[in-house]
Structures are given as C-alpha cells and as structure tokens.
Amino acid sequence: MAETQARYRLNPVSIQPTGISLGVTLAVLGAGMLHAGWNTLLKGAPGGDPLLDTAGVVAASSFWSLLALPFVSIPAAGAWPFIAASATIHFAYYLTLTGAYRTGDLSFAYPLMRGTAPLLVALLGVALLHEWPTLQAAAGIALICAGIVSIAFVNPGRHPRAAVLWALANAAIIACYTFVDGTGARASGDAWGYAFWLMFLEGFPFLLWIAFRRGRPALAYMTGGTRRSLAAGAGSVMAYAIVLWAMTRAPVALVAALRETSVIFATLFGALLLKEGLGWRRLAGATSVALGVAALKL
C-alpha cells in the first residue's frame, strides 16, 4: 500500500486504473443517492425562485467544505489550475441547473442531464486520458445512458423545449467538469483535499454574481430556507467528494456512468415526494440502468 501511495504521489496523472472494485462501486452508489437527495431538496424548495434556491445550496456547500479544510491536505501545485478551471465551469453548471429546474420536472430534467453526460465523459476519457473501456464496460455505459434518457422521455410531448435545451447544456458542462476534476484529483495527491478546497472556493464567483444581480433581498430569501440549504449542501459536498476519490481508484468514465445511477433515486424521489408520477416505462429505464451497473461490475 505504501509503495502504491508513493508511486501515486510521484506521478499521479500517469496512473490509469483499469477496473472498479466492489468497495468503490458501493461508495459511488451511495454518492448517487446523496446527489439525487440534494437535487430533490433543491427542486422541492417552496420559495419558488430556483436561482436563489441554488445559491443557498452553493453557500451551504462552501460552508461545510470550510469546516472540513483543517482535516485535509492542501492540494499539490499541479492541481490548482484544475481547481481554477473547475470553479469557472461550475459557475455555468449552476446557471444551467437553475434553468433546467425552472422549466422542467425533476424526473425529466435530472435524468436527461445526468444520462447524457457519461457518454461525453467516456469520449473525453478516450481522447485525453487514453482510458479505453473494455467491450463489457462500454456496454454497461451504453445501458446506463439509454436507461437514464428513456426515463427522461417517458412523456415526450409534455416537456417544454427550453427544459430539453437547458438539460443538454448542463450535461455538456457536467462532462467538462468531470474530466477536469477527475484529472485534477489525481494530480492533487489527496482527492479529499482537492474536493473540499474546490467546493469551498467554487461557490464565491456564483454567490458574488447573485449579490450583484439581486442585492440584499437575495440574502433575506436565502436565510429563510437555511435548514433545507444546509441539508442539501451537505449532500452535495459528500456526494462529489466520494466521486472524486473514486476517480483516483477507477477509470473516470466508469465512475461517471456509475454515479448516474442516482437517476433511479431521483425518479423515485420525484414520484414519491414531488408527486411527478411513476410508470412501467420509467421502471424499464431503471432496469436498463441496473443491467448497466451489473455489466460494469461483473
């Protein structure tokens, strides 16, 4: 173990994991549930302003990350350009996430956003990290993505075109920051340190923009939903920290695809908590996702 850690610190980016262990699989599935949970809290916020509800979650994420900083190491110098790039990309992520939830249901926008991204991540992984998936892994990624997108389009005529465009834009952004952060976490020497420093810093540009655009009323609105924001922020931080840790121990494309099993949880949460409905087509899509997970792991 010590020898592996020493090799990782000497040249972290060059290490290309080739498989995914049971422990990493279970951790990523747990992260998926956390991710679906905080998105459900965000979508179900009673205030009616998705932009400020998102800002509340971002502020809470920075707060929880700040509390974690004394317990993690500072990322290596080579990781900071990735942190800077990711913070910029996340600004666009929050804007498109807000647009998707303003115009579409959770059980539509979330699967479309999360289901399209793994295919893009897989292509970036091949092109830039030279992580070629095996035939079985490629089949697993395809099954997961097909199942997720089919869940989104259960009722194709019901969803506004704007929701589709916002969700697809968000998917492209997810693919970009997943690749950047997967590489940055490997370069950092400590995935947890990378994750918490990133999530502490990335909130500031978005929150400053909110303050400039909305002023003092935004603060009053956000403090009205502090408990919900704190719960969602905690889920956001832990979900992404786990995923970044997993990307240092398994190929980025496999982790990205496996993480999107969160769509199964989001579909259930949307049906049970937000009353968005659940039918056999969504169950068939969930089955496809489960088969894809099995293909990745077996």
The pLDDT-based confidence of 157 (bands split at 50, 70, 90) is low
Residue 67, pLDDT score: 97
Residue 133, pLDDT score: 73
**CA geometry: angle 180, 265, 267, nearest 5 deg:** 105
CB-CB neighbours of 90 under 10 Å? 24
Residue 36, pLDDT score: 86
Q: State mean pLDDT over 241-246.
A: 94
With CA atoms as reference, report the closest residue to 216 among 82, 52, 93: 52
Q: State mean pLDDT over 215-235.
A: 88
Question: Tokens 């002023």 sit at which residue?
Answer: 215
Handedness of CA 182, 184, 186, 192 (dihedral sign): negative
* CA separation for the pair 42, 30 (Å, rounded): 19
Percent share of the chain, pLDDT over 70: 83
Q: Does pLDDT of 2 surpass 50? A: no
| Phi, psi at 231, each rounded to 5° | -65, -45
Of 24-38, 42-56, 232-246, 270-284, minimum mean pLDDT range: 270-284
Q: Does pLDDT of 51 surpass 70? A: yes
Higher pLDDT: 293 or 106? It is 106
Summarize pLDDT for 5-14 with one digit per residue, the tens. Answer: 444 443 444 4
Q: State mean pLDDT over 156-169.
A: 79
pTM over 0.75: yes
Residue 250, pLDDT score: 86
Structural domain boundaries of the chain? 20-297
* Residue 293, both tokens: 């997970």
Alpha helices per DSSP H over the chain: 2-10, 22-43, 50-68, 80-103, 106-124, 135-152, 161-188, 191-201, 203-214, 216-223, 226-247, 252-259, 262-272, 280-297
Q: Does pLDDT of 99 surpass 70? A: yes
